[in-house]
Amino acid sequence: MTPALPGKGTIGFTTTIPVEIIFAAGYIPCDLNNIFVTDPDPQHFVDRAEHDGFPHNICTWIKGIYGVIMEHEMAAVITVMEGDCSNTQALAEILRYKGIRTIPFSFPYDRDVRVLAREIEKLRDELSPDAGSGLRVEEEMTAARSHLEEIDTMTWSERNVTGAENHLWLVRSSDMLGNITRYSDAAAAFIGAARRRERIEGIPLGYIGVPPIISGLYEFVEEVGGHVVYNETQRQFSIPHRTADIVERYLLYTYPYGIFARLEDIGREVERRGIKGIIHYVQAFCFRAIEDLILRETLPVPILTIEGDLPRALDTRTKNRIEAFIEMLEGMQD
Which chain residues interact with ligand SF4 by CB under 6 A? 59, 61-62, 84-85, 87, 210, 283, 286, 288
* DSSP calls for 109-167: TT--HHHHHHHHHHHHHHH---HHHHHHHHHHHHHHHHHHHHHHHHHHTT--S-HHHHH
Judge contact between 285 and 59, C-beta under 8 A: yes
d(CA 233, CA 303): 16
Backbone angles phi, psi at 293, to 5 degrees: -60, -45
> Whose Cβ is closer to ligand SF4: residue 202's or residue 256's?
256
Q: Which helix (H) or strand (E) holds 77?
A: strand 76-82
The amino acid sitting at 285 is F
The amino acid sitting at 161 is V
Shortest separation between residue 82's beta carbon and ligand SF4, angstroms: 12
Shortest separation between residue 75's beta carbon and ligand SF4, angstroms: 23
Shortest separation between residue 189's beta carbon and ligand SF4, angstroms: 32
Q: Which of 177, 131, 171, 125 is nearest to 148 (CA)?
A: 171
> Whose Cβ is closer to ligand SF4: residue 46's or residue 329's?
46
The amino acid sitting at 221 is V
Shortest separation between residue 299's beta carbon and ligand SF4, angstroms: 20
> Whose Cβ is closer to ligand SF4: residue 52's or residue 271's?
52
* DSSP calls for 38-59: HSS-THHHHHHHHHTT--TTS-
Shortest separation between residue 87's beta carbon and ligand SF4, angstroms: 5
